[in-house]
Amino acid sequence: PQPPWPLPPPLCTPGCGAPPAWAARLGATGFLISKCCFPLLKAKPGKAKRVRTIFSSEQLARLEQQFARQQYLVGQERCLLASSLQLSEEQVKVWFQNRRIKWRKQSLEQQQAKLAKMGLATPQR
């Protein structure tokens, strides 16, 4: 969908290269900027941005299966699972952390739904 107003020209100078993909997405809001024009927006020196892990459906199925058995994996269990899925231990650790957060949120929502059915709902924070 095109915005009802004309898009402003990019703030980048022609010599600094093509704007990154995220800059094109900002075009719909009327802002088109690139990190190359604003050194303050660049990543801190020496600290590379972590690439988001894309898990395969097989990896996700195994991780979910393991999570259903136990919500905490430590030591050798995490090492074995990571190597069998061709992931790092850190990736498995973070996945389990995120999955526990998701599980707690779902549990809380289910409890609130039960209370609402019984007429005992408390206002959400």
Any domain includes 62: yes
Give this prediction's pTM: 0.55
Counting the structural domains of the chain, the total is: 1
Q: How far is CA 95 from the centre of its chain?
A: 11
Q: Find the CATH number of the domain harbouring 86.
A: 1.10.10.60
Mean pLDDT confidence for 104-122: 83
Specify if 46 maps to a domain: no
pLDDT confidence band for 118 (50 / 70 / 90): confident
How does residue 92 score in pLDDT terms, banded at 50, 70 and 90?
very high
Is residue 15 in some structural domain?
no
User: From CA 7, how far away is CA 56, in angstroms rounded?
Assistant: 38
pLDDT tens per residue, range 19-65: 555 545 544 444 444 444 444 455 567 778 878 889 999 999 999 99
